[in-house]
Structure 1
Amino acid sequence: MIFIRKSILYTVVAVIASLQLSAQKRPNVILIMADDMGFSDIGCYGGEVKTPNIDMLAKNGLRFSQFYNNARCCPTRAALLTGLYPHQAGIGGMVGNGHADLSKNAVTIAEVLKTNGYATYMTGKWHVADSNSNEDIHNWPNQRGFDHFFGTIEGAGSYYDPKTLTYNNKPVQLKTKDNFYYTDAISDSTVTFLDQHFKEKSQKPLFFYVAYTAPHWPLHALEKDIKKYKGVFDKGWDVLREERLARMKKLGIVPEYTKLSNRNSTAKAWDSIENKEWELQRMMTYAAQIDNMDQGIGRIIQKLKKEGEFENTLILFLSDNGGCAENLDGVDKFMDSRELTITLDGKKVTPKNIPTMMAGPATSYMSYAEAWANLSNTPYRNYKKSGHEGGVATPFIMHWPKGITNKNSIKTDVASIIDLMPTILDIAKTSYPLTFNKNKIIPMEGLSLMTVLQNKKLDRDEWFMEHGTNKGYRKGDWKIAYSKEVGDKKWELFNLKEDPTERIDLAAKDPERLKTMIDRWFEWARRVKVVGK
């Protein structure tokens, strides 16, 4: 008979308990971002697009109805990755040609988590580096904290043959036989990376940034997905906007008294449109791009479930800005000439929104333009780049079976893209560094959303944005916005509690409040280096 003294037994029990505790991994985090997707396109926000997997995340998680991005792709991504305002992170404007580059005084989520025991992965669109050339990769994903990367460095491109397609730091050359479609490739490579992780590093928690380019132009989608939307949009954008708003009220996404913003002045009434078949094909293709992304998210979810990791994974889903009204005039001036002239299999590309060609195949290169973007941003006004709600409001979903008890809730807290870094670090029990790689790091600006997960209110009274002279500032229920679109070249003042869709400009009625808020915006703008002193 083996005899063990009590003191030794207690020590053994304590060691075993400690080992069991350490074996309980910190949560995995998967951050999924759509590109140029409007506020109400997906099903769980009132849209017509079939998104059963995203809808499931919403039904079993939280939806936010007042979550803000930064109105355009690269500034939003910089803020998302760093928890800073875009200008602080080095990307207040559009990256490329020396205009913007991710700052060395900003640290990414991946860099912080990697140094604290997480495996880090990324698939999809990077778009926060000034250089797209292999000659300068200092700000590419592998150099900014990601162990493995598959995706594109540039911001936009063909879905069949995207420029700057990269695996880690090496360019990927596609062949016709690959039957490549970028959205599927992002989803499938995500599943592949997950499979490798659970085989080789299962003891480690993971952080995964999945940055889809869907549904950003060009309108490229698979025929099997486009066919699903035959007849869905036949009523046209005017009727569909009204129907969406009704569904949004029923879902609780917007208040019952919300009124639809006016159709944008640049968009014609649906009844006056002559080329309806062509217009419908554009929206069907856009919907198919989102549909395919949702299918891929479903495959990611199934992989997590198969590995027994779904319950312990925080999944976040959002869009980088509102629906995009760009009509691609002059696209040849800012996109690679090869992808605008010839397909991977040698066919001619026509890079214009012209009714003689239908959207979808690699030979087309189109956008869906103002009127459909107006539908995407229902019920709000304006588009991507704007400081108005149509530019900066995004759907935002949090799903975490082990961490969320009040499932299928809609949160009205005013939250922001800068809140993701502090939230993820909070959940991962990881501290934010004062220095990184011998560089002094700017303190985080965001707030942790853990308070919202705990059914408490988020303590935010202010929100700010600026991009390309478009501006926005919210304090409580009051908001000022300045957009450089035609007719909007002035500061406007809104009471969002009474007027969520910014229909009534109160600037003339309350000039004192307007001035106070403008002064406060400039105070913030000087602090974060938007404007000089």
Structure 2
Amino acid sequence: MKQYKFILVAGLLALFTVHATRGDPRPNIIFILVDDMGYSDIGCYGGEINTPNLDHLAERGMRFSQMHNTSKCYPSRACLLTGVYAQQCGMHTKFSGIRDAVTLGDVLRSAGYRTLAAGKHHSEQSLYEKGFERWFGLRDGASNHFNPGHPRPGEPQPAQKNPGQRAWCIDDQTFTPYTPPEKDFYSTDYFTKYAISYLEEYKREEKPFFLYLAYTAPHDPLQAWPRDIAKYRGKYSAGYEAIRTARYEKMVELGLADPAMKLSDPTFSGWDSLSNDERKKEEERMEVYAAMIDCVDQNIGKLLVQLEALGELDNTLILFASDNGSSPVFAEKGVGGTGPIGSMSYWASLGKNWANVSNTPFRFYKNDSYEGGICTPFIAYWPGKIKNHGSIDHRPLHFIDVMPTLAELAGATYPSEFRDQKITPMQGESFLPALLGAEATDRVKPIFWQWKAGKAVRRGKWKAVAKGSEWALYNMEIDRNETTDLKAQFPETFAELRGLYDAWSTSVGVKPAKNQKKSKSKKKEKKS
């Protein structure tokens, strides 16, 4: 497949300059989300994976080193779309649907934007019902990337979790399952195809657009085109430690990691302790995982070429993030299949060893409230508006901050009531000043996390975090890798943060993990 590389159009526009092809001066907005990708995977965050388009967006835009999600797919997506915590919109213990909240689709559509979506929405509700005028995508947790439905003539049985139960949507239609008629179907490619077709369809409109492009890659099953996998054959033969060390050194060089901070201890197995067969399988897992991210970057390149062709590139804000850290879950147990890793007929997972590398330099993984679970790479690209190209901003942010930022940018009104529901007020803080070059100021509100046994609170430089009942206190100004617990040295600070967390968790109805009952919906989520 041809690799698309984005070429920046020369010339910078003043803020909200009227676009040449339409009268509305407000920018288009694109939010690109990937699934279960670690902090250090892409090139501009230290990785060896070939991501020239994302790297270019970072070089001509800016990166944030401390944007946070919730450590789990559907709560993260709920926070991102609503601007409130998942606990406040009914999406913290099961993915039945968003309530008492509006989505970015609702708010931006009400402000006159064309609202478009392609990709995953982990819910029992359709994005078409939540403010988006067009949507093609997965309404579930995970599915086969080559064929999420029934076997097609002449093809093997697609590896599936809960065969026949994965819901897909095309606008107001729901398919359970969805069997794509196209033999060249691959989730990343087709999410992009639909997104580009929407932009083409509405290209003559006077109104700006908001596109939510939510890829399922690189979430398992690890599946990719053979031509993309071939690029990475032998790339990971050096093993976990060598790749992690190379990434960390590159992160230090890029200014994303401070060498004065202690690097977290590795938790992967010793490469030499594995048998030849085990090493071969581990290499294959990472080769396919890298190929999936490479394919995402290629497709972002296609999108950028389309924007340039439509004359919309110079008036578009593009944001990129991951919904949680890399996953240690070995989900292929009980699924498996036949054929090689990477193929339609086999369900492979990355596993905790490579996930530890993927989340360099942090501790732990998806599902944890430590940085390895909740800290995402975050790129912002906005021609003519982001002045300090290639800069890195270190202020702490959270997905709840996206709604107030985009609402402010669009001049949108956030409602107090909508669809006969009383709407929870926005919980985040706008980072629009950061995009426009303002110096960082102290955050007004603390940030909170809770997913299952993981919980945390961040205020200023201090973060209290727990994995189960074991709490720790870290000074994130000097120890972002969370290596030195300071709760004994600063008991008053720790007690204050714990008090903030307890008050918040009570206010949003969080129950202690040991008291949470496993409903049918929760069991379904666990399988996702």
- Residue of structure 1 equivalent to 2:44: 44
Q: What CA distance in whole angstroms lies between the structure 2 residues aligned with 1:67 and 1:361?
A: 33
Q: Give the alignment of 1:363-442 within 5 angstroms.
A: 363-442=345-424
Q: What CA distance in whole angstroms lies between the structure 2 residues aligned with 1:22 and 1:192?
A: 19
Q: What CA distance in whole angstroms lies between the structure 2 residues aligned with 1:185 and 1:194?
A: 14
1:450 to 419, 432, 450: 432
What SS is found at the alignment partner of 2:102?
Answer: coil
Say whether 1:79 aligns with 2:79.
Answer: yes
Q: What CA distance in whole angstroms lies between the structure 1 residues aligned with 2:35 and 2:410?
A: 26
- Residue of structure 1 equivalent to 2:496: 516
Q: Is the contact made by 1:314 and 1:398 (CA closer than 8 Å) also made in structure 2?
A: yes
Q: Is the contact made by 1:449 and 1:458 (CA closer than 8 Å) also made in structure 2?
A: no
Say whether 1:140 aligns with 2:126.
Answer: yes
Q: Give the alignment of 1:45-444 within 5 angstroms.
A: 45-95=45-95, 100-103=96-99, 105-129=100-124, 139-162=125-148, 163-171=166-174, 173-174=178-179, 178-199=183-204, 202-264=205-267, 267-274=268-275, 275-328=278-331, 349-350=337-338, 358-444=340-426
Q: Is the contact made by 2:364 and 2:373 (CA closer than 8 Å) also made in structure 1?
A: yes
Measured after TM superposition, the shift of residue 113 of structure 1 is 1.1
Q: What CA distance in whole angstroms lies between the structure 1 residues aligned with 2:136 and 2:499?
A: 44
What SS is found at the alignment partner of 2:415?
Answer: coil
For residues 411-434 of structure 1, the C-alpha deviation after alignment (integer angstroms, 9 at most, x for no partner) is 001111101111111111112112
Q: What CA distance in whole angstroms lies between the structure 1 residues aligned with 2:22 and 2:181?
A: 48
Q: What CA distance in whole angstroms lies between the structure 1 residues aligned with 2:292 and 2:69?
A: 21
- Residue of structure 2 equivalent to 1:478: 462
Q: What CA distance in whole angstroms lies between the structure 2 residues aligned with 1:115 and 1:24?
A: 15
For residues 110-159 of structure 1, the C-alpha deviation after alignment (integer angstroms, 9 at most, x for no partner) is 01111221111100101133xxxxxxxxx311110010100110110100
Q: What CA distance in whole angstroms lies between the structure 2 residues aligned with 1:148 and 1:39?
A: 31
Measured after TM superposition, the shift of residue 526 of structure 1 is 1.7
Aligned residue-pair number: 473
Distance 1:18 1:258, change over 3 A: closer
Q: What CA distance in whole angstroms lies between the structure 2 residues aligned with 1:38 and 1:419?
A: 21
Distance 1:505 1:472, change over 3 A: same
What SS is found at the alignment partner of 2:141?
Answer: coil
Q: What CA distance in whole angstroms lies between the structure 2 residues aligned with 1:21 and 1:142?
A: 28
What SS is found at the alignment partner of 1:229?
Answer: coil
Amino acid at match of 1:528: V
Measured after TM superposition, the shift of residue 193 of structure 1 is 1.1
Q: Which runs of 4+ in 1 moved over 4 A?
A: 17-22, 329-332
| Gap runs ≥5 in structure 1 | 1-16, 130-138, 333-339, 341-348, 351-356
Amino acid at match of 2:458: R
Q: Is the contact made by 1:451 and 1:458 (CA closer than 8 Å) also made in structure 2?
A: no
For residues 328-367 of structure 1, the C-alpha deviation after alignment (integer angstroms, 9 at most, x for no partner) is 26555xxxxxxx7xxxxxxxx34xxxxxx63100111010
Measured after TM superposition, the shift of residue 406 of structure 1 is 1.6
Amino acid at match of 1:301: L
Measured after TM superposition, the shift of residue 20 of structure 1 is 9.8
Greater displacement, 311-320 / 466-475:
466-475
For residues 307-332 of structure 1, the C-alpha deviation after alignment (integer angstroms, 9 at most, x for no partner) is 11001001000000001000126555
Q: Is the contact made by 1:83 and 1:445 (CA closer than 8 Å) also made in structure 2?
A: yes
Q: What CA distance in whole angstroms lies between the structure 1 residues aligned with 2:94 and 2:142?
A: 12
Q: Percent identity?
A: 38
Distance 1:193 1:52, change over 3 A: same
- Residue of structure 1 equivalent to 2:35: 35
Q: What CA distance in whole angstroms lies between the structure 2 residues aligned with 1:492 and 1:177?
A: 51
- Residue of structure 1 equivalent to 2:448: 464
Measured after TM superposition, the shift of residue 506 of structure 1 is 2.0
Measured after TM superposition, the shift of residue 244 of structure 1 is 0.7
- Residue of structure 1 equivalent to 2:518: none
Distance 1:177 1:145, change over 3 A: closer
Q: Is the contact made by 2:22 and 2:207 (CA closer than 8 Å) also made in structure 1?
A: no
Q: What CA distance in whole angstroms lies between the structure 1 residues aligned with 2:94 and 2:330?
A: 18
Measured after TM superposition, the shift of residue 177 of structure 1 is 5.2
Q: What CA distance in whole angstroms lies between the structure 2 residues aligned with 1:55 and 1:147?
A: 31
Distance 1:309 1:262, change over 3 A: same
Distance 1:179 1:475, change over 3 A: same
Q: What CA distance in whole angstroms lies between the structure 2 residues aligned with 1:506 and 1:458?
A: 25
Q: What CA distance in whole angstroms lies between the structure 1 residues aligned with 2:355 and 2:145?
A: 20
Q: What CA distance in whole angstroms lies between the structure 2 residues aligned with 1:109 and 1:217?
A: 27
What SS is found at the alignment partner of 2:294?
Answer: helix
Measured after TM superposition, the shift of residue 257 of structure 1 is 1.4
- Residue of structure 2 equivalent to 1:527: 507
Q: Is the contact made by 2:19 and 2:315 (CA closer than 8 Å) also made in structure 1?
A: no
Measured after TM superposition, the shift of residue 175 of structure 1 is 5.3
Q: Could you say which structure has the larger radius of gyration?
A: 1
Q: Is the contact made by 1:142 and 1:148 (CA closer than 8 Å) also made in structure 2?
A: yes
Q: Is the contact made by 2:43 and 2:49 (CA closer than 8 Å) also made in structure 1?
A: yes
- Residue of structure 1 equivalent to 2:9: none
Amino acid at match of 1:182: S
Amino acid at match of 1:506: L
What SS is found at the alignment partner of 1:87?
Answer: helix
